[in-house]
Amino acid sequence: MANAVYQKSGTAVKWSDTTGDLAMTLNNLAAGAGRQGAVKDWGALSTARPALYHFRLLVQFDTAPVVGESVTLYWKSGDGTDYDNDDGTGDAALSAADKLKNLHFLGELIVDEAAADVDMSIQGFFTDLNKEGMPVVYNGTVDNLQATNNVNFVTITPIFDEVQ
């Protein structure tokens, strides 16, 4: 009889302004601006690592946003030397919207309520076999994100295959 392969969640990594595992300054992220988080090293390529990851993006707006506009989440990965764009590996502003073109699109949060101070969230899964990576958030709305530390964040949870 064949063994079943189950998925087991690892420890979630949180990117936020000051209280997360890694820094990503989303406090008051301006309309039409992007931000990348600090790099996460998942371990040596020669060791057993997951290929599947779960993501969650949660944001609030400082003022009532326009329904239908969006905030987009990307994943920037690399092998420790080469990355999907040249904006570095730290918590930093996106240098230009064109820098999003070669990143992994994860999801688009569509504003569904014209209200400030309300949690809006998306989640899903992606695969990545690289050693390192970081989330990149692009605020495509005409409103800034909430100007409060740690209200806006990204979590990435590795999903391990487990043979029973």
What is the topology classification, in CATH, of domain 10-163?
Answer: Jelly Rolls (2.60.120)
What pLDDT is recorded for position 43?
85
CA quadruple 9, 75, 16, 23: dihedral, nearest 10 = 110
pTM of this prediction exceeds 0.75:
yes
What pLDDT is recorded for position 39?
97
What pLDDT is recorded for position 70?
98
What pLDDT is recorded for position 92?
96
Average confidence (pLDDT) per 10 residues, the chain, 164 residues:
85 96 98 97 82 97 97 96 93 95 97 96 96 97 96 97 84
Number of continuous H segments (helices) and E segments (strands) in the chain? 0, 12
- Any idea where the domains of the chain sit in the sequence? 10-163
